[in-house]
């Protein structure tokens, strides 16, 4: 019997899509403004997942250089057809709706072709595309008809429901105007469509209710990929809204047959904390839950919390950076290099307030977590930071004889400084459970920022972690902890991250 860990993928891994090829499973997730883009994880047992590569590993595959925060790589669908992997995705406010292919899911992937509207050279307008083929080999792209623009009003979005087109994949052009399919039970934001043929029937799975607390998954059934589709009597199939479940916002799912022949649904969710479970520190993660079938309809079980044991990751920088390192709107190699057992980050005039900082980081994977780095600031100024976006971040910065802790919280800045004469220092950024007090615990966690000088660990600040949660920042991403430089050259000799989910 397969052990289903939850989260299936810890940390910022939203919008999962999964495909089974032979005896292996391949899973893709969204990356928004981060590069490399669209990670691909592989498993042979649905328990252990290995990051084997990314789709977007070269300039130009994703047009995220200038996208606003929260734009970029939204909601991939990964499939396998005629011996080739296919991935469709919307590069939101970037290139548009794209189709990538690869013979090996680890890559390299193609440059990405725009899926064009019928009769124009403009991208299909919509998000969360899905791709499926009928018995004759005709490809269908089904998507959520949300019209995107740089000044999109989230309170009055232009939404056309779930739409579909037949596509010529040689020309990457729609063969028809978009057709409306089925848009759920009436909840807001019908999105994340996936179309399947199962036992001779066609199914349309969607998310609805918004990607916040009202998130849900619903399904409809028809006789062809074009429908018409009839709603399942038990919709929504899964939702955590108005429940005390520790995993909330469950939705945006994809169905697949698991290792023992049982059906599974991978989906996104969050793990909120505080007295009212109001703050999700790590953002949207990937989860999994069993699926059963009766009378031609699936039933999706509520998502159960089953965290993995804690982990410890130690990086000594004596080899090239592994695949977990990511940059903001540019690749890690654009701002950092491994040289002589050190990670060297070169400043370029940017700060973490800028769209393309000299920053490389890794996802925070555990609710209780600590990262320590040893750095040399003899030639520059830089440090350790946790980032949600340009406006919400925490920095622990060294150089010019001092260490400064900073909290940038939506335009509010607070600083704490301690003298540090040496050039080689150990910085520590810890995320811990809040200590008990006289009232209701009203935060997700507390950041402890410290420096070790001459063998003594000195705590500079404690910062309320709720301000770096998805609910406060309204971010689609999650916490990314990394190193940066703002002046000269800063080298890092060691990175240690350890944590657990108790």
The CATH number that applies at residue 226 is 2.115.10.20
In a domain, 158, yes or no: yes
In a domain, 286, yes or no: no
| DSSP structure string for 439-486 | S---SS-EEEEEEEETTEEEEEEEEEGGGGSHHHHT-SS--EEEEEEE
Q: Same domain, yes or no, for 318 and 451?
A: yes
Q: Same domain, yes or no, for 87 and 234?
A: yes
In a domain, 269, yes or no: no
Contact 159/146 with Cβ under 8 angstroms? Answer: yes
In a domain, 277, yes or no: no
The active-site residue, picked from 15, 91, 208, 395, is 15
Mean pLDDT for the stretch of residues 2-19: 95
Supply the pLDDT for residue 159. Answer: 78
Supply the pLDDT for residue 328. Answer: 98
| DSSP structure string for 300-357 | EPPPPPBPPPPEEEEE-SSS---TT-EEESS-GGGTEEEETTEEEEE--S--TTSSS-
Q: Same domain, yes or no, for 59 and 192?
A: yes
Mean pLDDT for the stretch of residues 23-50: 98
In a domain, 10, yes or no: no
The CATH number that applies at residue 460 is 2.60.120.200
Provide the token pair at 353. Answer: 């307030």
In a domain, 84, yes or no: yes
Last residue of a domain, one of 211, 234, 249: 249
- Give the total number of structural domains in the chain: 2
Supply the pLDDT for residue 434. Answer: 87
SS3 for 397? strand
Mean pLDDT for the stretch of residues 66-71: 94
In a domain, 99, yes or no: yes
Last residue of a domain, one of 205, 227, 249: 249
Structural domain including 231 reads: 17-249
Supply the pLDDT for residue 438. Answer: 56
Mean pLDDT for the stretch of residues 378-393: 97
Q: Same domain, yes or no, for 242 and 161?
A: yes
Q: In which band, very low, low, confident or very high, does the pLDDT at 448 lie, cut at 50, 70 and 90?
A: very high
Instruction: Give CA–CA dist 46/69, Å, rounded.
Output: 32
Instruction: Give CA–CA dist 434/280, Å, rounded.
Output: 14
In a domain, 5, yes or no: no
Instruction: Give CA–CA dist 383/357, Å, rounded.
Output: 13
The active-site residue, picked from 33, 91, 130, 191, is 191
Q: Same domain, yes or no, for 336 and 241?
A: no
Q: Same domain, yes or no, for 242 and 124?
A: yes
With helix as H, strand as E and coil as C, how does 230-290 read?
A: EECCCCCCECCCCCCCCCEEEEEEEEEECCCCCEEEEEEEECCECCCCCECCCCCEEEEEE
Assess whether pLDDT exceeds 70 at residue 439: no
Q: What is the pLDDT of residues 140-193, one digit of tens each?
A: 999 999 776 545 555 555 678 999 999 999 999 999 999 999 999 999 999 999
Q: Same domain, yes or no, for 213 and 329?
A: no
Maximum Cα interatomic distance, the chain, rounded to a whole number of Å:
73
Q: Same domain, yes or no, for 241 and 367?
A: no
Q: Same domain, yes or no, for 199 and 315?
A: no
Long-range contacts of 224-230 (CB under 8 A, 24+ apart): 224/134, 225/132, 225/134, 225/140, 225/164, 225/195, 225/197, 226/140, 226/164, 226/179, 226/181, 227/181, 227/182, 227/202, 228/182, 229/181, 229/182, 229/202, 229/204
Q: Same domain, yes or no, for 316 and 232?
A: no
| DSSP structure string for 110-169 | P--EE-BPTTSSSB---EEEEEEE-TT--EEEEEEEEPP-TT--TTS--EEEEEEEEEET
Q: Same domain, yes or no, for 230 and 347?
A: no
Q: What is the pLDDT of residues 284-315, one digit of tens each?
A: 999 999 999 999 999 999 999 999 999 999 99
Supply the pLDDT for residue 149. Answer: 56
CA 385 to chain centre: 19
Q: Same domain, yes or no, for 40 and 170?
A: yes
Whole-model pTM: value is: 0.96
Contact 483/383 with Cβ under 8 angstroms? Answer: yes
Instruction: Give CA–CA dist 63/57, Å, rounded.
Output: 12
208 is annotated as an active-site residue: no
**Under 8 Å CB-to-CB from 474, ≥6 apart: which residues?**
none
Contact 373/495 with Cβ under 8 angstroms? Answer: yes
- % residues pLDDT > 90 (the chain): 92
Supply the pLDDT for residue 1. Answer: 65
Q: In which band, very low, low, confident or very high, does the pLDDT at 435 lie, cut at 50, 70 and 90?
A: confident
Supply the pLDDT for residue 151. Answer: 53
Supply the pLDDT for residue 442. Answer: 85
**Under 8 Å CB-to-CB from 284, ≥6 apart: which residues?**
12, 13, 14, 15, 211, 249, 268, 269, 270, 470, 476, 478
Q: What is the mean pLDDT of the chain?
A: 95
Distances (CA, A) of 371 to 49, 85, 478, 490: 23, 36, 16, 17
Distances (CA, A) of 278 to 13, 249, 271, 299, 442: 20, 12, 10, 28, 8
Last residue of a domain, one of 206, 226, 249: 249
**Under 8 Å CB-to-CB from 76, ≥6 apart: which residues?**
15, 17, 28, 29, 30, 38, 55, 87, 88, 89
15 is annotated as an active-site residue: yes
């Amino acid at each position: 019997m397969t052990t289903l860990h939850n989260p299936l993928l810890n940390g910022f891994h939203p919008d999962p899509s999964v495909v089974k090829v032979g005896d292996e499973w391949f899973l893709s997730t969204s990356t928004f403004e981060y590069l490399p883009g669209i990670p691909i994880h592989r498993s042979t047992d649905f328990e252990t997942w290995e990051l084997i590569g990314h789709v977007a590993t070269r300039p130009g595959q994703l047009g995220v250089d200038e996208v606003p925060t929260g734009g970029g790589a939204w909601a991939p669908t990964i499939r396998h057809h005629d011996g080739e992997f296919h991935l469709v995705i919307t590069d939101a406010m970037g290139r548009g709706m794209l189709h990538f292919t690869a013979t090996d899911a680890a890559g390299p992937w193609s440059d990405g072709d725009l899926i064009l509207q019928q009769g124009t050279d403009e991208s299909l307008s919509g998000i969360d595309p899905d791709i499926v083929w009928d018995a004759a080999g005709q490809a269908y792209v089904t998507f959520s008809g949300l019209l995107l623009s740089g000044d999109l009003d989230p309170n009055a979005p232009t939404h056309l429901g779930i739409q579909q087109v037949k596509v010529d994949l040689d020309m990457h052009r729609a063969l028809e105007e978009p057709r409306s399919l089925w848009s759920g039970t009436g909840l807001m934001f019908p999105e994340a469509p996936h179309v399947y043929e199962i036992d001779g029937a066609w199914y349309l799975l969607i998310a609805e209710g918004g990607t916040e607390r009202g998130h849900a998954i619903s399904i409809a059934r028809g006789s062809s990929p074009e429908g018409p589709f009839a709603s399942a009597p038990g919709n929504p199939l899964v939702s955590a809204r108005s429940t005390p479940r520790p995993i909330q916002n469950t939705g945006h799912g994809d169905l697949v047959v698991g290792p023992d022949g049982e059906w599974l649904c991978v989906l996104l969710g969050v793990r909120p904390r505080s007295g009212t479970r109001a703050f999700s520190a790590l953002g949207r993660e990937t989860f999994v839950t069993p699926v059963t079938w009766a009378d031609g309809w699936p039933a999706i079980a509520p998502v159960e919390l089953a965290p993995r044991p804690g982990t410890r990751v130690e990086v000594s920088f004596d080899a090239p950076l592994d695949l977990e390192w990511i940059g903001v709107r540019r690749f890690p190699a654009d701002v950092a290099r491994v040289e002589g057992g050190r990670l060297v980050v070169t400043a370029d005039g940017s700060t973490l307030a800028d769209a393309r900082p000299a920053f490389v980081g890794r996802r925070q994977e555990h609710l209780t977590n600590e990262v320590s780095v040893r750095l040399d600031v003899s030639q520059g100024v830089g440090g350790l930071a946790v980032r949600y976006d340009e406006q919400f971040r925490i920095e622990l910065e060294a150089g010019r004889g001092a260490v400064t802790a900073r909290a940038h919280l939506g335009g509010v800045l607070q600083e704490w400084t301690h003298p540090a004469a040496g050039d080689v220092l150990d910085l520590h950024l810890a995320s811990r459970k809040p200590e008990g007090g006289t009232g209701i615990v009203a935060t997700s966690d507390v950041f402890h920022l410290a420096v070790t000088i001459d063998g003594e660990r000195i705590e500079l600040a404690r910062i309320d972690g709720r301000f770096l949660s998805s609910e406060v920042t309204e971010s689609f991403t999650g916490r990314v902890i990394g190193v940066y430089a703002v002046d000269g050259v800063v080298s890092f000799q060691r990175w240690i991250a350890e944590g657990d989910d108790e």
